[in-house]
Amino acid sequence: MADFWSVIDAIGSFGGMCLAGVAGYVAFRLLKVEFERDKKAQEFLYQQQASSIGFWRDGNRHCVVVLNASPLPIYHVVISEYRVGVGGEQENRFSVLMPGQQVEVPLKDIYGFSPPPRKDGTLTHGQYILECGFCDNSRLYWKRDLNGGLRRDH
């Protein structure tokens, strides 16, 4: 009879270890799902301020405009112009844009000539690319182009 209870004890111990292993696996999977959800939520919060920064070309006033529509300041604002196929780069820098602040940079200051380039984005020297880079309140650096594209710049 003692052997019978020893076998039952062994089976119970083995079953308990298996259940503990399954519980550990389930806990690991749940932790991984929660971690991914927290990561996505944090990325959304980071992008929330960056998506509130506007950058566009105003053809009527012949300038590019940067608007901080977020409730927090942005730092190290850089408007960069690149000419594809020619090389060279020109930058206009601003240290801080407070909430609601708007900065207008004349196209003459960016390109160095007047009248402004054609609406299709071509110059006599080739295609140009305008970008606005800035650092948000979380110290993440972002770049926005004139088409509304937003990307994190590492």
Query: Region 67-81: what's the mean pLDDT?
Result: 90
pLDDT computed for residue 59 by the predictor: 77
Nearest to 143 by CA among 76, 70, 44, 85: 76
Of residues 101 and 120, more confidence is placed in 101
DSSP annotation of 7 reads H
Please report the pLDDT score of residue 55 as a whole number. 92
Contacts of 96 (CB under 8 A, 6+ apart): 73, 74, 75, 77
Highest average pLDDT, of 68-77, 91-100, 105-114, comes from: 68-77
Statement: residue 88 has pLDDT above 70: no
CATH level 3 topology of 51-152: Immunoglobulin-like (2.60.40)
| Per-residue model confidence (pLDDT) at position 123 | 45
Predicted pLDDT at 36: 92
Q: For residue 66, is pLDDT > 90?
A: yes
Domain boundaries, the chain: 51-152
Closest by Cα among 146, 145, 142, 154 to 50 = 142
The side-by-side arrangement of strands in the sheet containing 63-68 is 53-58, 63-68, 102-106
pLDDT for position 26: 92
pLDDT tens digit sequence for 22-54: 999 999 999 999 999 998 887 777 788 899 999
- Distance CA(1)–CA(22), nearest Å, equals 32
**Share of residues in the chain with pLDDT > 70 (%):** 82
| Whole-number pLDDT of residue 85 | 61
What's the pTM value of the predicted model, to 2 decimals? 0.63
Place 81 in a pLDDT band, splitting at 50, 70 and 90.
Answer: confident
Q: Residue 112: helix, strand or coil by DSSP?
A: coil
In Å, the largest CA–CA distance within the chain is 103
